[in-house]
Structure 1
Amino acid sequence: MIRIKAGVPRRPRPRPRARRPLRRALALGLPTVWGAIAITYKLSCPLAQQTGLGARIITSAVFFAVGTGLIVQVRRSLLRELRQIRQIAGAAQSALLRPLPPRLDGLNIAAAQLSAERGAVVGGDLYEVIATEHGVRVVMGDVRGHGIAAIGTVAAVLGSFREAAHDEPDLPGVLHRLDRALARHLRERARAEHPASGALDPESPVAEEFVTVLLLEIGRDGEIRALNCGHPWPYLLSGGGVRPVSRTDPLPPLGPFPLPTELPYVRCGQLLPGEALFLYTDGAEDARDGRGRFFPLAEVLAETAAQHPLPVPQSVLGSVFTALLRHTGGTPTDDVALMVLRNDRRPTVSAPIGARDGDISGSAARAHPAKTHPQPTTHL
């Protein structure tokens, strides 16, 4: 039963466009007309029956004109259909990997993705940033494979994260939800590909699918908590320097192995005002040039940070992508996703921001450097 909201007028059903039948008639009619002209000329024109050189030249010119007209008409039809398909695919892929807002809960955000498959907007990489009552939660992942074939897995993981980020009070709960969503997606995919098999066959290629996932939670005080399943750790851009936020060994990727029951998250210090996080997928580090050399991501970030002590997310993305495309000659062989989050929150005076591991806390330490007592840096 269809319900109509009170006070909302019913919209008239859109009428079919009159141009569509005309376009279809032209698409079918013009080649037919061209063919009829060629056949009529060949059968009824006396000049076409002659065998002289001049008559042959004229006949060849007529058939060349007819063939050219047919090719032009077919080309226009194909280009029109290709534009429509690209518009539909672009809208669907943009709805899957939604553009991130430039600012979210005091964070300045910039993200971009480069698909290795030509014509695809979304590939095997995924990312999302959501502001929740538990803090700003971030996911970045990389599906096995690349291009359009990985979109189904990307949709399953992103859809689960967008719900779990609000529902689950802690990061381990979010990660368990993602793991269950991926397992359910793989079972349904295996059942669709092999209807006779009721369960996921260990010998099936679907059983070898996996997803690397990095979950971050940034609290109001800037504290960073993370769960990492086989993904590269992000870099911290601070004061013109670059370093990984953690050196802890990550968990295995989602898919091949079950998650442990207890999932203690990793404390990665604090993201202080003016500092930025650089997240990426392994397609950036694994990109090679013509000589087989890997892309020096850490060096490019260090140069960018040295030139801009206060990192601007959009500028960082532009510098890295420009260097990456120059390194690969404009043709990367794997999907690449990059994200930069800068803390633009104002530090509070009454409750100074706690220190990162190895730092002293608050703005008072910056205001009175002579009173500071440096502590040894530790990486959890």
Structure 2
Amino acid sequence: MSVVLGRPYQFVPPHRGNLWPSFIQTFRIVDRYLHRKEGVVDFECRGLDRWRESVDRGDGILLAPNHCRYADPLVLGWPARELRQHVFAMASWHLFNEGWLDSFAIQKMGGFSINREGSDRQSLEMAIGILADAERPLILFPEGTTNRTNDVLKPMLEGITFIARTAARKRAKTSDGQVVMHPVALKYLCQGDITSWANEQLSELEDRLSWRISPSDTILQRTVRVAEGLLSLKEIEHVGNVGTGDLPQRRDQLMRALLEQAESKLNLIPGPDIRDRVRTIRSEVVARYFARPHTSDETEALRIYATKADLAQELLSYPTCYLDRELATDTRIVETIQRMQETFLGTANVAVPLKVVIQCDDAIVVPPHKSARGEEDPLLGLLRERLTSMITTLSAEARPATQCGLA
């Protein structure tokens, strides 16, 4: 559960010195961490000259990457190292509660916290100030949360353009400089044949389901079948029976049921957007938890509501058609297996080696004026268009399942 109930939110500012990030980069500590914890063993940077041009101009630089893996913030340390740049990054509060070492490392590398369950003026002002002063490049993930779905961009949050435009106005008042936004596409590619790894991971999941597989079943068929079996278990756990319809329909039915169960207990009015409903539930849970002392039963009930919201958000990360035979790739199969392991086992096996391609796009100059009310910010639309185009192109570099014996 990513909702933090152990202690109330307290803003964590970034470390502003150069000694610690230089030490971490010089001794390749991030490289070893990514290899051991995330399975990312190699990288390739593309388009860094575009980032460098913005640095040379003295722009306030906002880096806006897609967010498909927990490794994303750290892999951006590689292009920063090649450019001899340190960066700042906004990070969810729960990441500062995973252990003292993780919290220490995130802060020393330039991370600062954001409260996703409530307003956080300090974090917003920090981000705006960094861009307005062109102190260092700032990493903001426009999707907000990670989803392990590398080839699909989730809906983006308007907060990123609010921060960018506010910083541009502030910078225009104090200097002749500008604020720019660089879309950054991250694409993870499998290094080598995944068959052995996938067989091992699927066999473990199938054993937990007490299944015996047919020798003729392909890796892709087994992955889809396990997804259906594990979804059935969650349906029985939360609604008491297996749903009807195809897999996407059952996924959507379970998401709605999970959210409605939590909302009814918390007396919340459902909205039209799944992510907004998840955010509202999580915010209400945190607000109630810290409003007054609770009995153990009341505390457990709040944890259950937050868990239901988290599961609904995780189910949203299983996109329709992602594993259709003609569309599936080796990386999509790996992502799905690891996502199932996280959802149903609590942790993913990261033994499959990955290479990440980090592609930086041309700078988008951020206008200082506000966007029109009641309409989508055109700056957000342009960012989505650029990211989608790069991700679509990079997705073709993965090996199709039909060509590597997986389908």
Q: Which has the higher helix share?
A: 2
TM-score over 0.5 for the pair: no
Q: Between Structure 1 and Structure 2, which shows a larger proportion of strand residues? A: 1
Normalising by structure 1, report the TM-score: 0.27
Q: Which has the higher contact order (CA 8 A, sep 6+)?
A: 2
Choose 1 or 2 for highest CA Rg. Answer: 1
